Amino acid sequence: MNIQSIGWEMALPIRHAVLWPDKPLSFCKVEDDETAKHYGAYINNQLVCVASIYIDEQTARLRKFATLADFQGRGIGSQMLAYIIDELKKLEINLFWCDARQSAQSFYQRFGLKKQGAIFEKSGIPYYKMAIKLL
């Protein structure tokens, strides 16, 4: 597996296929995509996992983290998240957070992220805000 920076446009098809297949592709575009950091995991030159990081001073937010269905359950997302956390530590980011789907909260807990506040919904999907201090 190879993890590298990618352009935001490259992330859209995987975001769409995994996270919001019932919405138009434009729904998967995030404000500030043009200035965020985007990462992709490749297996045999195929982009199979994407994640986007939006940095504001010493805080980084993970958004639109998705692995193609055929590649889920192989540890790709875990390797990607570990890579991103290492990169953020090098940038001296203090706080890392995300809005995690309720169904994925245990995944994020394995990396030390903790629930912050009550459950909430976005587009009918239940989420928790989860965060970890990196420094």
Read off the pLDDT of residues 36-46 as tens digits, 9 standing for 90 and up: 999 999 999 99
Q: Domain with 45 in it: what CATH number?
A: 3.40.630.30
Q: What is the count of structural domains for the chain?
A: 1
pLDDT tens digits along 17-55: 999 999 999 999 999 999 999 999 999 999 999 999 999
Domain boundaries, position 89: 2-133
Q: Report CA Rg, the chain.
A: 14
pLDDT tens digits along 59-111: 999 999 999 999 999 999 999 999 999 999 999 999 999 999 999 999 999 99
Average pLDDT, the chain: 96
CA 59 – CA 16 distance, rounded (Å): 26
